[in-house]
């Protein structure tokens, strides 16, 4: 099935909209196909401010209303305790809230931006989505991440080159309880690094301080400027180290 055919067969749907590359292109494609797709942004402690800003900007450019659902994830013990299955509980809670809001607005179908490059395997978050009956049109159409970027660039979407971004909770080691103050610390630290021009990096909290992970093309520059980075981040992180291997995964 191609994407256009999907929206011809499913002309009304609610979209889990993060403001990222995949869901942005999916929203554009739905509009191009003439489908009525309502984007919903789930605002929780796990999303940095720039994600909502990007979501609003993209919807503004497309002339589509963005609906925001406020959800406190740290109120759920299965999430706040940060067990290995945290992502499952988080996605389950998030999409349950979205399904309820969508049903209230008259939408029986909920879709998300999972693409064909995302390995399903036994990933907890994707398992939760499958259980709830959420569909992933990009994945069904066999559209990969690289293709999403290429198609987004052709469409003139500013999100075409936006780095992939995992939620702030991934910066906390599994088994370490998640505290809102730690999430804010990570958000502010990563915003400072982004202001220096770094992309595709992560700031991960550890017992001893912060571990910075950069992509290979920016690793040498970060290592050469480590002292400046330490001064920029300040004393609130404890010891600051750079992972010599570089960033992998989320």
Residue 250 has pLDDT above 70, yes or no: no
Q: How far apart are alpha carbons 5 and 7 in whole angstroms?
A: 5
pLDDT at position 120: 59
Query: At residue 110, what are phi and psi to the nearest 5 degrees?
Result: -115, 135
Q: In the predicted model, what is the mean pLDDT of residues 29-36? A: 97
Residue 249 has pLDDT above 70, yes or no: no
Mapped onto helix, strand or coil, the DSSP state of residue 53 is helix
Angle value at C-alpha 182, between 170 and 89, nearest 5 degrees: 40
Q: Please choose, from the candidates 167, 164, 154, 107, the residue with its C-alpha nearest in 3D space to the C-alpha of residue 135.
A: 107
pLDDT at position 119: 66
Instruction: Centre a 10 Å sphere on the Cβ of residue 5 and count the other Cβ atoms it contains.
Output: 13
Residue-wise pLDDT tens digits, 38-65:
999 999 999 999 999 999 999 999 999 9
pLDDT at position 62: 96
Q: Which of 78-82, 96-100, 124-128 has the lowest mean pLDDT?
A: 124-128
pLDDT at position 122: 56
Q: How far apart are alpha carbons 63 and 57 in whole angstroms?
A: 10
Average pLDDT score over the chain? 94
pLDDT at position 228: 94
Whole-prediction pTM: 0.93
pLDDT band at 123 (very low <50, low <70, confident <90, very high): confident
Q: Please choose, from the candidates 19, 24, 66, 23, the residue with its C-alpha nearest in 3D space to the C-alpha of residue 47.
A: 19
Cα separation values, 217 from 197, 198, 203, 243, Å = 12, 10, 17, 14
pLDDT at position 121: 55
Residue-wise pLDDT tens digits, 188-246:
999 999 999 999 899 999 999 999 999 999 999 999 999 999 999 988 899 999 999 87
pLDDT at position 34: 96
pLDDT band at 118 (very low <50, low <70, confident <90, very high): confident
Residue 127 has pLDDT above 70, yes or no: yes
């Amino acid at each position: 099935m191609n994407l256009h055919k999907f929206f011809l067969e499913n002309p009304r749907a609610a979209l889990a909209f993060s403001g990222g590359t995949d869901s942005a292109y999916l929203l554009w494609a739905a509009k191009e196909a003439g489908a009525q797709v309502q984007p919903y942004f789930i605002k929780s402690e796990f999303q940095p401010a720039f994600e909502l800003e990007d979501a609003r900007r993209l919807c503004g450019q497309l002339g589509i209303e963005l609906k925001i659902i406020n959800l406190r994830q740290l109120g759920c013990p299965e999430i706040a305790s940060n067990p290995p299955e945290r992502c499952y509980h988080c996605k389950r809670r998030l999409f349950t809230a979205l399904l309820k809001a969508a049903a209230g607005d008259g939408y029986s179908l909920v879709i998300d931006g999972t693409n064909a490059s995302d390995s399903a395997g036994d990933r907890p978050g994707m398992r939760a989505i499958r259980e709830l009956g959420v569909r992933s049109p990009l994945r069904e159409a066999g559209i990969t991440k690289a293709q999403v970027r290429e198609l987004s660039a052709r469409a003139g979407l500013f999100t075409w080159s936006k780095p992939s971004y995992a939620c702030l909770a991934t910066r906390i080691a599994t088994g370490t309880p998640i505290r809102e103050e730690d999430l804010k610390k990570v958000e502010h630290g990563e915003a400072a690094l982004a202001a220096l021009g770094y992309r595709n990096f992560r700031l991960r909290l550890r017992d001893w301080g912060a571990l910075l992970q950069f992509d290979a093309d920016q690793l040498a520059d970060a290592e050469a400027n480590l002292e400046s980075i330490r001064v920029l981040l300040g004393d609130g992180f404890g010891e600051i180290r750079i992972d010599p291997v570089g960033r992998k995964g989320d």
